[in-house]
Amino acid sequence: MTGNGRHRNPMSDSDNRPDAEILAPAEQPVPGASLRIDPVACLAPGRNDARRLLVAWFVKKSFWWMFFGGSALAAIVHAIERTDNRFQVRLSSPDTVLSGLLSGFALVVLALLVRLLIGWVALSLAYPLARSHDAVLEPRTGRNRRWGTFSDRYKVAKAYRLLRWTHHVRQVALDRVAPGPSWWRRLDPILDVVNVLAVIGFFVTTMVIAIIQTS
């Protein structure tokens, strides 16, 4: 009870505190623990790894214009030839892949192959980096300890692969490969424009062909 006879509201103190203070966690982080990921740690020293990362990124990003541009091209080819443009690609079947590469869907099949292979290429580029950052942990025991160790390293390599795709890591790679203005820095926005135009071109082409065939 306060001096003027009124009961004190227990919530008044919290109402007057800043929101940041109210929402602050009760437990503080472990002293000395770093909560930020340094983009530099996701690249090997020197320019070679940075250059390989950028090339892999540009190839990965080219999937969209290849896929949608190839689909539009295949629709035009099959509309001119007046044949069925339905085609099913099974990457597990070499015959369908080869027949696709020799058809109007060649660019589409090539885009799917690029999408599949570039992930493994990027993983192979990230694996040595993940191995170099191995934590000092107690060796695993058990009958499957070797497979378990390899599985853990594989998962860490996948995590590094995803980190290396991020914007900030790619910016560090660009600063190493091309400190000043160059085509390395212009290629990324160019691919953005080309990918958008390819998607728009695919839908426009599909609509035009559908209108022509129904008229």
pLDDT at residue 39, as a whole number: 87
Model pTM above 0.85: no
Average pLDDT, whole number, for the chain?
79
Bigger pLDDT: 188 vs 85: 188
Greatest mean pLDDT among 18-27, 105-114, 183-192 lies in: 183-192
Q: Mean per-residue pLDDT for 186-211?
A: 93
pLDDT band at residue 19 using 50, 70 and 90 as cut-offs:
very low
The pLDDT assigned to 131 comes to 80
Q: 63 or 105: whose pLDDT is higher?
A: 63
pLDDT at residue 89 is higher than 50: yes
CA distance 106 to 73: 9
What is the chain written as a DSSP string?
--TTSPPPPTTHHHHHS-HHHHHS-SSPPPTT---S--GGGGS-SSSHHHHHHHHHHHHHHTHHHHHHHHHHHHHHHHHHHT--------TT-HHHHHHHHTSTTHHHHHHHHHHHHHHHHHHHHHHHHHHHT----PPP-STTHHHHHHHHHHHHHHHHHHHHHSHHHHHHHHHHH-SSS-HHHHHHHHHHHHHHHHHHHHHHHHHHHHHHHH-
- Residue-wise pLDDT for 117-172, tens only, equals 999 999 999 988 878 776 665 666 667 777 777 788 888 889 889 999 999 999 99
Q: What is the pLDDT of residue 35?
A: 56
Task: Please report which confidence band the pLDDT of residue 86 belongs to, taking 50, 70 and 90 as the band edges.
Answer: low
**116-122: long-range contacts, CB 8 A cutoff, minimum separation 24:** 116/91, 118/56, 118/59, 118/60, 118/63, 119/60, 119/161, 121/56, 122/53, 122/56, 122/60, 122/161, 122/164, 122/165
Query: What was the pLDDT predicted at 174?
Result: 94
Higher pLDDT, 94 or 196: 196
